[in-house]
A and B are shown apart, each in its own frame.
Chain A
Amino acid sequence: MKKSQEASPAAMEPRDVEALMTMAEIVLLAGGAVPTVRAEPHGAPAGSTLGVHARMAHDTVQHARYLLSQQQVLGPTRLSLPKRVLLRVSRLFTYRLVAASQSLADAIDHLVRVHDEALDEVERVGNSLRAQIASVEISAQDAIDSLAGRMLTGGTADDGELTTSRAAHESRLAMLEGRLAEVERERAADRAEILRLRNRSSVERGAQSGSTAPSEGTTPVLDDDTYTLFERRFRGSREEIRTRQLDSLRFVSSLAGTDRPLLDLGCGRGEWLDVLRSADIPAYGVDSNSAMIAEAVDVGLDARCEDAISHLRSVPENSLGGVSAFHFVEHIPVSVLTQVLQAANLALAPGGVLMLETPNPTNLVVGAASFYLDPTHLRPVHPDFLSFLAEACGFEDVEVHYIHPVIEPDVLHEGAAPIADKRMARVVESSEWALFGAQDYVVVARKAGGQE
């Protein structure tokens, strides 16, 4: 059987471009329809707070959509084809902008007013909005990519009109890409706003219920003076701690000479504040142990005797350059830790640094024994969990640094012969990590935004 050449693909006609534009428009709306249907909770009992708010959000979206449909006031038949195409193209994006700023903002506004029971709903709607954003972005990008490809290579342009129309399409594409970038910037802002609202409502909820660390964790165990003695005996003298913390300066060096201060939670005797002062990093600390705060104030540091979490909640949004906490997170329950991270995210300026140091439970001696030496420790915090939680609360560029090895690796390996047997080498290596490795770790992260 002979096969002739495949029928030569017809050149893209202006009508085809219009068809594709219409398709892209339908697809954007089709993608948007799914979360709207989802926002209507089938199972929610009529009249419940949740049901009412979800219904309001749903109606708002519907209303916005209706308004958008009215936007089409110009009868398309009265315009020339290129104008119609252009109108469609611009509508593609105005739909998105208007829908994003109007219906979504309104819907979220309704939803964040809901009490405890609706918080889950906010998150669910947020997730579906994010999914919507992602799918809209993908479809729009697909449409643009494919159109770009077609317009640049597809047309045979054997007459002047086609060439002109191709050039016009190319310039429109450039314009479209510009607009897409604009929309994406807007989208990032929307995303940040959703996160901010969620953190805000969670932090406020925490403030209402009055959950704070000391009342749930530390106070009953040791009184202030006894704990100061304990710290001195087992964590080291003021000078020892200061030396250890010098190393941590590298994580916050970007804050030197800036205006926004770093807040150190659970600052204790203020060793870290002292280190920061010497590095010209504006900082202050809070701690509920009055004996320790007195020592810090004595050496001229800005240390305040306040409950760390209550203080963090009272800090204005976007006002801090950094938030640090040394050996703090292992003293508080996870629910409070989450609120601390959310409150820190709100309080930090975009690009602000979060830095949390805590005992490293992947060192077996720490995880099995020394962690429990301090009777005020609640439970070890795994580095993966702490990183995860930071990300979940809106931090970016989350890094884990393992520090303070029991024996420095170069000392440990001094004069040691290399081990030829691979399995034995692995055994030795993991034993070294588990027994002589890092006793602490630091999670360093940034609040989204900043310079870029």
Chain B
Amino acid sequence: MRITIVKPDWGIRGGFEVVADRVEQDLRGAGHIVDRLEVPVGAIPRTPFGVPVADEVWTRAPEWFSHLAMLEAFRGLDVRGADLVISTQPPSYAVDHPRQLALFYHHARAFYDLEDVWIAAGRAPRAVHTASAALLRSTEAPDLARVAHFLAGSRRVRERLQDYQGADVPVSLYESAAPTVGVSAGDFAHVLTVSRHEFTKRTELTVQALSLGSTPGVLVGDGGRLPFVRDLSGRIAAGDVDPASLTDQELWLNLGMPPERTSTGSSPRVRILGRVGDDEVATLYRDALCVVAPAYDEDDGLTVLEAMAYGKPVIVCRDGGGLTALVEDGVNGFVVEPDGASIAAAVARFAADPALARTMGAAARERVAVRTPEHARRQLLEAIELAMAGGSR
């Protein structure tokens, strides 16, 4: 049958794009004709639903206005030729088709599950944000209600769907395949965090943990908060701040504005590399003692999945959302309190006992062995059946 994948084009390539490519490949493999219909986010005019929004108003809530502009664009897409439509990131589910399968990893999070955190970090005044979040949710509720079936990227995502769309939302799981990596265990030498530096990714906790412990560590990844994270590390190294007394607001619950005057300090124990090539990432994984995934309430466990495929134990935080799904505390990693000291304590256990890290790493690889491409493909094809059957909803 003819399947159209609709997707906002953000002009970047991240984990989700890899998943979307995999889905497209599986669909073609199953004999379907697949089209992609992408809406370039940058090209959307600033007139959602015909209302011209002045720049000074738009900048009060850019995420809100661009979401609504996108919502309008997706509602207007002509997908009548498709037998089935697969929607992807928000708000592509606004596409109007009776048989829509939503490959769903998250809502527009600032207005859903991150609403409170958004306010706490000072990213929007409470008065404006709660009202605008409610308006946004009520506006797109009918769009979400029209989706015939949701394919949730993790159990955590399924929970959120049930929270916001109701307990009876038609949803099944999509557990994407673990990446295939060459098996050649390295040195178990350093702590590794592979993550973009963005709000709620909480890479600051890795910096704090490394500063409090004695094991060296590496942070890999680009992102808007990279200058802030670097400066934080520098200020700690220069002795300007005491890593033990940093608050959430000082660490991650803030706007992450880069400082006017960059700190000159640097620590030999904390290497913040920014973006690096795939080969170097693979080498860093192989030589890692353990992987720290400190993010707050993640959608899926893709980071953990990758680390475990490399045979490394993983440290995640109790409030890590989808990250915690694969980690069994004390078996293939540790689930700790969301602060640097707790992470540092878990790292210290591996440093003191590398054999423990090896055992848990082996258990981790075993844990993700079931996450095969075939497993994911079956979940995808079953969901398509459900979406075709549930099309009358």
- CB within 8 Å of B: which residues of A? 1-4, 6-7, 9-13, 15-16, 18-20, 22-27, 29-31, 33-34, 37, 42, 65, 69, 72, 76-77, 135, 138-139, 142-143, 146-147, 149-150, 154
Give the nearest-CB partner of B54 in chain A.
A76
How close is A37's CB to chain B, nearest CB, in angstroms? Answer: 6
Confirm or deny: B71 has a beta carbon within 8 angstroms of a beta carbon on chain A.
yes
List the interface of chain B (C-beta within 8 A of A): 48-54, 56-57, 60-61, 64-65, 68, 71-72, 75, 80, 96, 119-122, 125-128, 130-132, 134-136, 138-139, 142, 245, 247-250, 254, 337-341
- Chain A residues with CB below 8 A from B136, complex form: 27
Nearest CB of B to A106, in Å:
19
Q: Name 13 interchain pairs, CB-CB below 8 A, sorted by A.
A: A1-B337, A4-B247, A4-B248, A7-B254, A9-B125, A16-B127, A26-B53, A27-B139, A30-B48, A30-B72, A139-B135, A142-B131, A142-B138
B127 touches A26 (CB 8 A): no
Other-chain contact of A2, B52, B56, B130, B245 (Cβ < 8 Å): B245
B75–A69 contact, CB under 8 A? no
User: What residues on B are CB-neighbors of A26 within 8 Å?
Assistant: 48-49, 51, 53, 65, 68
Q: How far is the CA of A76 from the CA of B119 in the complex (A)?
A: 30
Does A19 lie within 8 Å of B61, measured CB to CB?
yes
Q: How far is the CB of B10 from chain A (nearest CB, A)?
A: 22
A15, B49: Cα distance in complex, Å? 21
Q: A18 to B132: give the CA distance in the assembly, Å.
A: 12
**Shortest Cβ distance from B71 into chain A, in angstroms?**
7
| Residues in A whose Cβ lies below 8 Å from that of B134 | 142, 146
B374 to chain A, nearest CB (A): 37
- Report chain A residues within 8 Å CB of B249: 3-4, 6-7
Q: How many Å lie between the Cα of A23 and that of B136 in the bound state?
A: 9
A contact patch SS: helix
Name the distance in Å between B228's Cβ and chain A's nearest Cβ: 16
The residue in chain A whose Cβ has the minimal distance to the Cβ of B68 is: A26
In the complex, which of the residues B50, B121, B128 contacts A20, with contact meaning CB atoms closer than 8 Å?
B128
Q: How far is the CA of A53 from the CA of B339 in the complex (A)?
A: 64
The one of A2, A3, A29, A77 that contacts B50, using a Cβ cutoff of 8 Å: A29
Q: CB distance B57 to A19 under 8 Å?
A: yes
In the bound complex, do residue A9 and residue B126 qualify as a contact, i.e. CB atoms below 8 Å apart?
yes
Q: Which residue of the partner chain A has the closest CB to B96?
A: A37
Alpha-carbon distance A165/B127, docked complex (angstroms): 16
Q: How far is the CA of A139 from the CA of B68 in the complex (A)?
A: 15
Task: Let me know if A30 and B139 touch, CB within 8 A.
Answer: yes
Q: How far is the CB of B232 from chain A (nearest CB, A)?
A: 15
Q: Do A29 and B49 form a contact, CB below 8 Å, given A9-B126, A11-B125? A: yes
Given known contacts A27-B68, A154-B127, what 17 new A-B pairs fall within 8 Å (CB)? A3-B247, A7-B122, A9-B119, A9-B126, A15-B60, A19-B60, A20-B131, A23-B135, A26-B51, A26-B65, A26-B68, A27-B135, A42-B80, A65-B50, A142-B131, A142-B138, A146-B130
Residues of A within 8 A of B138 (CB): 27, 135, 138-139, 142
B249 nearest in chain A by CB position = A4
Q: Which residues of B contact A138 (CB under 8 A)?
A: 138
A12 in contact with B80 (CB, 8 Å)? no
A27–B340 Cα distance when bound, in Å, is 42
The 5 closest A-B CB pairs, nearest first, are: A1-B339, A146-B131, A9-B126, A29-B49, A19-B60
B51 touches A139 (CB 8 A): no
Do A33 and B51 touch (CB < 8 A)? Answer: no
Give CA–CA (A7, B119) in the complex, Å. 8
User: B8 CB to closest chain A CB, in angstroms?
Assistant: 17
| Closest A residue to B146 using CB positions | A34
Contact A12 B139 (CB under 8 A): no
Our pick among B51, B122, B127, B339 for the contact of A12 (Cβ within 8 Å) is B127
CB atoms of A34 and B142 under 8 A apart? yes
Minimum Cβ distance to chain A for residue B127 (Å): 4
Q: A139 with B139: in contact, given A26-B49, A30-B68 (CB under 8 Å)?
A: yes
Q: Report yes or no: B48 in contact with A16, Cβ–Cβ below 8 A.
A: no
In the assembled complex, which residues on chain A have CB atoms less than 8 Å from the CB atom of B339? Answer: 1
